[in-house]
Every structure is written in C-alpha cells, then in structure tokens.
Structure 1
C-alpha cells in the first residue's frame, strides 16, 4: 500500500468575466509520518528520511538531526554545524537552479555550462565533509564559472542582456499576472518559537493546515528577500519571485566563495530549540522556504512523537499566498492559463499540481 494517498495539489480557478472570483485548493495528503516514526530509534528515522522525502533530503535530515540533538541536550561542534550548513546551501542552490530550468522556459542554454554546473554541485555536496576544503573550493569555482556562462549577475543586478536567464525573465514578463497590491505576510525565524511549540501541541491539524494568528505567511526566496529589505506592501508575481531566486543563488555562491563561515551566514539558516525534557525542534531555510521538524523522545531514547512542517503547507494554504496573489486579478482569455500557472510555479510546490478553470456568473 502506498504511504502517500494523494501526493499532489489541485488548484481550481473560478472566473467571472475574466476576473478571478475564487481560488480553491485541495492540498496534498502527506504520509502518516508521526505513526511511522513512533517507537522507532532515532537512527532508523534518519535512515528512512531520504526515502520519505526525495526533495530537499539534506535539509530534511539536517532539521531532524538538530531536533534530535536538541532533545538529547547534545552540544554541536562548530565544524559540524558548518559542514551541515554547506550541505544545506549546496542543495538549496541545486534546487533553486532546478526550479529555474524546469519551471521556466530557458532558451539558448549551453549544454556544456549545465554539465559543468551539475558536476560542480555534485562535488560540492560530497566535499561538505572533513578535510575536503580544496575540493570544495574547486567545486565553487566551477559553479561560479558555469553560472557566469549562463548569464548569472555578479551582484544583485539583472542577468547579462541576451543571456539565457535574461531571456527567461523577458519571456515570463510577457505573461506575468498583474495582481492587485496587497499587504504581504512572510515567515521568518521570528516565528520559530510559536511554530515549534505548536508542532508538539494538542492540535493535530497544525502540521497539515498551519496558521499564525489567522495568518498563512509566504515563505521562500522572495519572502526572504522582502523580509531582509523590510518591504510589506506591493505587487508580487512570477517575475519578482524569479528575480529573487536568481539573486539568492548569487548570494549563496558569494557566501561559499568567501569561506562559508558561520558568522557570515544568513541569519536563521539553521536553528535548533530545546522544548523540554526529551523534546527538541529545528528550523532550516531550504530552497522553498522554512522547514520545521520536532521530536519527542521516550526515556529509552526512542521516538514517541515526530512532526514536520514543510514550506508547501504555507504557500499553498487555503488562505495563503497563492490565493492572495490570484484573488481579484484580471486575466486575458488568451494568456490566463499561462499566467496562473506561472504564479503557481513561482511558489515552487514540492509536489505536482493540477490546474482547472471554470466560469461562474458575474453575480
């Protein structure tokens, strides 16, 4: 029997005279992780995790490791934390790039640059271990050179004119949905204490349909950028999120090039929390947003509770950022499917999705 009853998200758009009147989301059904983990040793869950989460597996394992170590009151050496950060960042760059190449049309891409990029990322992941500093430096240099060949900017600017990334932005801009200006809400490390306490609380629905005082904030590259810049009001769309994704890749590569020091890492990239006797939680900034794990251990060190909360549960919440971005937007009949699909893909769900449209009365 499959562990996942329905590993996809269904989105239905109701149109009234080419205006989005309603957005309905049928969320995915996650595997019964808490039941699967109960009574198991922590090592067994760590080994099973890559099979349960094929997307962002390094971030998932890192979050669980830190949560277990917090529950055990274990002190983490700085070198260990740095290696885990490098692994998470390498995976994050890889996933952000995957979203660029898979989710958006990228014309004139150099096959040689892509191959070099993939090799560099593979070496970078394997070099996030002790005594592999030279291999890591070589991998970073290879990644930076491949990104430059693809038109990645050196700083937080626009990609080189005529480059694959510049053409991708231009093509997406033609169909980008011009949503109405709204007040935004973004998930950040400031929300960690509230969320981690509730993960092991009495509400069994929180991990499936979370909220923060009625809010369902956005998380991911654009949300991180907006939080850093302290911007809370304005238009959002697929192009803005694509540019934020590109800028974040540049920033992460710059951090790796500068030596990947913990003190210069982005704030809150990995955090762990002691929640009480035998209880711990952790938060990790992965490609799609902020990921949470929480565990409770019994006196024998076995897992008695395990909960996780993925970015997709926020971004595709029934009252979340996708709904806020689409609700009330005007569409043209010729391009409305592309425009709506672009917004969904810009939020980068960790599972597949279906998209349907239906006409409703103007009233």
Structure 2
C-alpha cells in the first residue's frame, strides 16, 4: 500500500485525540500502516503531553509526504481557520464541534480524491455537530451523502475478533423498526454486505445468518409475522442468487459460541440487536466499518467518552484495530485493482 490512511479527529473534547496519539506510539508494536490526521496539531500535542505519550507532531503540507514523516512523528495536515483550536478534555464546545466537522469533511475529501488509501473517523458528539450545521443522523449517513451513495446503500458493520454484526435499521426508535423493515431493504443491504466481505475482507463466499425480529423468530407467527412476511422472502431471493444465507434465526441463541462458528456475519434487524453482543464480546477491539462506499471507512466502535477524556483511562485498542482493518482493506482493494488492470 503506497498511500497513507487519513484520520479525522472526532470531537476534540472527547477521547479521540489521546487515542490517536496512543495509536501512533503503538505503530511498530502493532504493525500499523502510515497515517496522518486532518487538523488539530496543537491539541494533539497537548493531549499526548498530558497523557505522558512520547509523540512529536510533524506538520505536513500535503498527504504525499505523510508516509515519510510517519516515523518521525504524527503527521498532521493543518486546516485553515482552525489552527488555534485548544484542547479542552471533557468540555465540549462549539469551536470543538466546528473543528470536528472540518476534520471529517477534509478527511473524507482526501480519501475520495485518492490522496489517502482509506478513512478512519474519530468519535463525535452528534448533538454538538448539529449546532454547527451537521444535518445527518451520523457519520455513516454523512459519508454516504458525500460519496453520492443512497443512505440505504451505506451498510454499517461492527467487526471484532470474535463477531461481525450488521444492524439493518440504525438511527431510529425501536417502535419504528417493524415499519421500516422491508424485504427489499433486507435483500439489498445483505447483498451489499456479501460483496464487500468478498472484496475487502477476502471471504470468497461469506456465510450470512439473518436474525429474526421477534422472540423465537416469531415462532410460526405466534409472536409476530415479520419473519414469514418480510424476512423469509428476502432470504429466498438471496439464496436464489447464490448467496449463502440462513435464517431467520432466534436472536437469543444466535450469538452463542457454537452458533458464531457457523457464520461470518450476523445481519440483525435493529441497532441494539447487533451492537449489544458485539460490545459484550469485543468492546475494546470493536470496529465500525461502512460497507458499500467507494472509499474505505472504519472507526472505533465507541463514543466520545467525555467523562474520562484527558484522564488517561481510555483504551486505544479499538482505534488501533480500526487503523489496522482500514489498512488491510486498502491492501486488498489495491491488489484487486492491479489484478484487474
């Protein structure tokens, strides 16, 4: 992989800056590919110093020199108009949200233009971003819009060492889930996930397990008919097209160790059905991956954690895992392009 990865800061008042600093100090031990950060040189320096991390910052003028600078220090590409943003751990503010948004926009643009091999996003506070004009439910939807992709075609996958899950519905109330689920939504997102797992993760024919929506997967209609009316037809269509799909499975048994060995990803009907098992099993190594985009995007599967920001308590494991996964996916895409050229 010739190009570096680009990282967005996330909310600078959260744990993002110290996790980025910690990840750079672990670059050799964890075999991380070169990366640089869009903005925040001063606050990254302050965060590293406060957390007793030996991490010099190297200000760069363009991404092309990031790989060369990476061993000297953390390469940071300055953002116009945000040079004086300070580090205020645990104290989210409007200026910090503006910097987080500017960093996200610049990092996305660099990945989209081919100046960076992949994008790793830092954790943000959605309510803070809304105050500075962010009109999307989350970063996944923002990236879909920025890449010209329909929101339903940007698929969130949570991946850890022992489990991968996909929530079909994400930023909505639980009461809305049944009305949002359609056979077409299930079919389309599952097909996108299967292709992405093959292309970016090297799983030639992914084994996909679909969870049911209701207890006991509806138990033949006794506890709801969505399994028979919506999920089963989608599974039939996917199987007819050659995808290795099973289900609908009762969700209460789907994540036992014996069951996890039978599939490569579990497609779930709603947010908590997918995220609770992932975080219970792989909290410190969970990665959020957006499938279906023309760019590679990963992020640590946790939030800003304002309550512990600046206290040296944050675990960089998920950030390291997100960087490593982005690099691995970038290598596979690059190899595929070379083979097809």
Instruction: Give the TM-score, by structure 1 length.
Output: 0.28
Greater relative CO (CA pairs within 8 A, separation 6+): 1
